[in-house]
Amino acid sequence: MIWGLSELVRAAGEALCAEDVAFRTALRSNRDCPGQFGGILRMANERYFQFVIARFYAGILPYVVKVEDNRRDISLSLPGRREPDPREIVIEMKCWLSASGNSELAAIRTDMFQNLTADIAGSRTGGFRARQGLMLIVSANPRGQMTSNVRWLSDRLGVSADDWETFVFDTENADGAEVEFWVAGYDVSKAGLQSPALRVE
Protein backbone atom coordinates (compact mmCIF):
# COMPACT_ATOMS: atom_id res chain seq x y z
CA MET A 1 0.00 0.00 0.00
CA ILE A 2 1.19 3.50 -0.85
CA TRP A 3 0.83 5.86 2.07
CA GLY A 4 0.01 9.21 0.58
CA LEU A 5 -1.73 12.24 2.01
CA SER A 6 -5.26 10.81 2.01
CA GLU A 7 -4.16 7.58 3.70
CA LEU A 8 -2.14 9.36 6.38
CA VAL A 9 -4.99 11.78 7.12
CA ARG A 10 -7.49 8.94 7.32
CA ALA A 11 -5.23 7.01 9.69
CA ALA A 12 -4.77 10.09 11.87
CA GLY A 13 -8.52 10.61 11.96
CA GLU A 14 -9.19 6.99 12.80
CA ALA A 15 -6.67 7.17 15.65
CA LEU A 16 -8.31 10.25 17.16
CA CYS A 17 -11.80 8.84 16.64
CA ALA A 18 -10.88 5.63 18.48
CA GLU A 19 -9.33 7.66 21.30
CA ASP A 20 -12.46 9.77 21.50
CA VAL A 21 -14.70 6.71 21.82
CA ALA A 22 -12.46 5.24 24.52
CA PHE A 23 -12.43 8.54 26.40
CA ARG A 24 -16.21 8.94 26.35
CA THR A 25 -16.70 5.31 27.36
CA ALA A 26 -14.33 5.75 30.29
CA LEU A 27 -16.16 8.87 31.50
CA ARG A 28 -19.54 7.23 31.35
CA SER A 29 -18.20 4.19 33.19
CA ASN A 30 -16.93 6.28 36.09
CA ARG A 31 -19.59 5.70 38.74
CA ASP A 32 -17.67 7.74 41.29
CA CYS A 33 -18.01 10.89 39.17
CA PRO A 34 -21.17 10.59 37.06
CA GLY A 35 -22.59 13.11 34.61
CA GLN A 36 -19.40 13.88 32.72
CA PHE A 37 -19.52 14.64 29.01
CA GLY A 38 -17.04 15.03 26.19
CA GLY A 39 -14.28 12.98 24.65
CA ILE A 40 -10.85 14.12 23.55
CA LEU A 41 -12.00 17.74 23.43
CA ARG A 42 -11.81 17.68 27.23
CA MET A 43 -8.04 17.59 26.75
CA ALA A 44 -7.62 19.77 23.68
CA ASN A 45 -3.85 19.64 23.66
CA GLU A 46 -1.70 19.41 20.55
CA ARG A 47 0.85 17.09 22.15
CA TYR A 48 -1.88 14.71 23.26
CA PHE A 49 -3.27 14.48 19.72
CA GLN A 50 0.25 14.16 18.33
CA PHE A 51 1.12 11.15 20.47
CA VAL A 52 -2.21 9.44 19.78
CA ILE A 53 -1.60 9.73 16.05
CA ALA A 54 2.06 8.68 16.29
CA ARG A 55 1.18 5.60 18.32
CA PHE A 56 -1.41 4.57 15.73
CA TYR A 57 1.01 5.21 12.86
CA ALA A 58 3.65 3.05 14.57
CA GLY A 59 1.31 0.08 14.53
CA ILE A 60 0.27 0.20 10.86
CA LEU A 61 2.81 2.08 8.73
CA PRO A 62 5.89 0.59 7.00
CA TYR A 63 7.98 3.31 8.62
CA VAL A 64 9.91 3.95 11.80
CA VAL A 65 7.80 6.55 13.58
CA LYS A 66 9.33 9.18 15.84
CA VAL A 67 7.93 12.23 17.63
CA GLU A 68 9.74 15.52 18.20
CA ASP A 69 12.45 14.31 15.86
CA ASN A 70 14.86 17.04 14.83
CA ARG A 71 12.29 19.80 15.33
CA ARG A 72 9.42 18.01 13.57
CA ASP A 73 6.28 16.82 15.35
CA ILE A 74 6.25 13.41 13.64
CA SER A 75 8.78 11.85 11.30
CA LEU A 76 8.49 8.68 9.22
CA SER A 77 11.67 6.89 8.16
CA LEU A 78 12.24 3.80 6.06
CA PRO A 79 13.55 0.94 8.24
CA GLY A 80 17.21 0.14 7.70
CA ARG A 81 17.92 3.34 5.83
CA ARG A 82 21.47 4.44 6.60
CA GLU A 83 21.67 8.01 5.36
CA PRO A 84 22.75 10.59 7.95
CA ASP A 85 19.10 11.70 8.08
CA PRO A 86 16.77 8.83 7.14
CA ARG A 87 13.47 10.70 7.38
CA GLU A 88 11.19 10.10 4.40
CA ILE A 89 8.14 12.10 5.52
CA VAL A 90 8.03 14.98 7.99
CA ILE A 91 4.80 16.15 9.61
CA GLU A 92 3.88 19.30 11.47
CA MET A 93 0.66 19.54 13.49
CA LYS A 94 -1.37 22.44 14.78
CA CYS A 95 -4.56 22.62 16.83
CA TRP A 96 -6.90 25.18 15.32
CA LEU A 97 -9.43 25.66 18.09
CA SER A 98 -9.56 29.35 19.03
CA ALA A 99 -12.89 31.12 18.83
CA SER A 100 -11.80 33.54 16.08
CA GLY A 101 -9.45 31.18 14.24
CA ASN A 102 -6.88 33.94 13.91
CA SER A 103 -4.48 33.33 16.78
CA GLU A 104 -3.00 30.15 15.29
CA LEU A 105 -2.55 31.45 11.73
CA ALA A 106 0.99 32.76 12.12
CA ALA A 107 2.28 29.47 13.55
CA ILE A 108 0.52 27.43 10.85
CA ARG A 109 2.01 29.69 8.21
CA THR A 110 5.51 29.31 9.67
CA ASP A 111 5.25 25.52 9.59
CA MET A 112 3.91 25.40 6.04
CA PHE A 113 5.89 28.14 4.32
CA GLN A 114 9.16 27.96 6.23
CA ASN A 115 9.82 24.76 8.16
CA LEU A 116 8.29 22.14 5.86
CA THR A 117 9.25 23.87 2.62
CA ALA A 118 12.86 24.09 3.82
CA ASP A 119 12.88 20.36 4.58
CA ILE A 120 11.60 19.55 1.10
CA ALA A 121 13.98 21.93 -0.65
CA GLY A 122 16.99 20.58 1.20
CA SER A 123 17.97 23.99 2.52
CA ARG A 124 18.51 22.82 6.09
CA THR A 125 22.01 22.44 7.49
CA GLY A 126 23.45 19.14 6.31
CA GLY A 127 21.38 19.00 3.13
CA PHE A 128 18.50 16.95 4.55
CA ARG A 129 15.71 16.61 2.01
CA ALA A 130 12.38 14.96 2.78
CA ARG A 131 10.25 13.31 0.11
CA GLN A 132 7.06 14.67 1.67
CA GLY A 133 6.17 17.44 4.06
CA LEU A 134 2.68 17.28 5.50
CA MET A 135 0.72 19.83 7.52
CA LEU A 136 -1.98 18.38 9.78
CA ILE A 137 -4.66 20.64 11.25
CA VAL A 138 -6.82 19.37 14.11
CA SER A 139 -10.04 21.24 14.79
CA ALA A 140 -13.67 21.03 15.92
CA ASN A 141 -16.86 22.96 15.27
CA PRO A 142 -20.65 22.58 15.29
CA ARG A 143 -21.85 19.91 12.90
CA GLY A 144 -21.78 20.75 9.23
CA GLN A 145 -19.26 23.59 9.40
CA MET A 146 -16.00 21.80 8.55
CA THR A 147 -16.09 22.54 4.82
CA SER A 148 -16.69 26.25 5.30
CA ASN A 149 -13.99 26.42 7.98
CA VAL A 150 -11.42 24.71 5.75
CA ARG A 151 -12.31 27.21 3.04
CA TRP A 152 -11.92 30.11 5.51
CA LEU A 153 -8.52 28.81 6.64
CA SER A 154 -7.33 28.23 3.08
CA ASP A 155 -8.32 31.75 2.06
CA ARG A 156 -6.25 33.25 4.86
CA LEU A 157 -3.26 31.04 4.11
CA GLY A 158 -3.45 31.71 0.39
CA VAL A 159 -3.87 28.06 -0.65
CA SER A 160 -6.61 26.14 -2.43
CA ALA A 161 -9.28 24.55 -0.24
CA ASP A 162 -9.44 21.69 -2.75
CA ASP A 163 -5.90 20.58 -1.88
CA TRP A 164 -6.75 19.50 1.67
CA GLU A 165 -7.67 15.92 2.59
CA THR A 166 -10.04 15.65 5.55
CA PHE A 167 -11.43 13.15 8.04
CA VAL A 168 -14.37 14.08 10.26
CA PHE A 169 -16.28 12.33 13.04
CA ASP A 170 -19.07 13.27 15.44
CA THR A 171 -18.40 13.73 19.12
CA GLU A 172 -19.42 16.06 21.96
CA ASN A 173 -17.75 18.79 23.94
CA ALA A 174 -17.40 18.97 27.71
CA ASP A 175 -20.86 20.55 27.97
CA GLY A 176 -22.45 17.65 26.11
CA ALA A 177 -23.14 19.64 22.93
CA GLU A 178 -22.83 17.75 19.64
CA VAL A 179 -19.86 18.80 17.52
CA GLU A 180 -17.75 17.44 14.71
CA PHE A 181 -14.03 16.87 15.19
CA TRP A 182 -11.81 16.82 12.14
CA VAL A 183 -8.32 16.42 10.77
CA ALA A 184 -7.20 18.18 7.59
CA GLY A 185 -3.93 17.44 5.82
CA TYR A 186 -2.01 19.44 3.23
CA ASP A 187 0.89 18.07 1.18
CA VAL A 188 3.35 20.96 1.14
CA SER A 189 5.74 19.02 -1.13
CA LYS A 190 3.24 19.01 -4.02
CA ALA A 191 2.02 22.53 -3.66
CA GLY A 192 5.12 24.52 -4.61
CA LEU A 193 4.32 26.97 -1.87
CA GLN A 194 5.60 30.48 -1.76
CA SER A 195 4.99 32.59 1.27
CA PRO A 196 2.06 35.01 0.77
CA ALA A 197 1.08 37.92 2.94
CA LEU A 198 -0.78 36.63 5.96
CA ARG A 199 -4.41 37.67 6.03
CA VAL A 200 -5.81 38.23 9.52
CA GLU A 201 -9.16 39.71 10.44
User: What is the pTM (predicted TM-score) of this model?
Assistant: 0.89
pLDDT in tens, 110-128: 999 998 988 887 766 455 6
pLDDT in tens, 23-48: 999 988 888 888 888 899 999 999 99
Q: Are 15 and 56 in contact, with CB atoms under 8 Å apart? A: yes
Instruction: Indicate the average pLDDT of the chain.
Output: 88
- Cα dihedral: 119, 193, 135, 155 (round 10): 160
Report the pLDDT value the prediction gives residue 100, as an integer from 0 to 100: 93
pLDDT in tens, 46-87: 999 999 999 999 999 999 999 998 788 999 988 877 665 677
Lowest mean pLDDT among 93-97, 105-109, 114-118, 137-141: 114-118
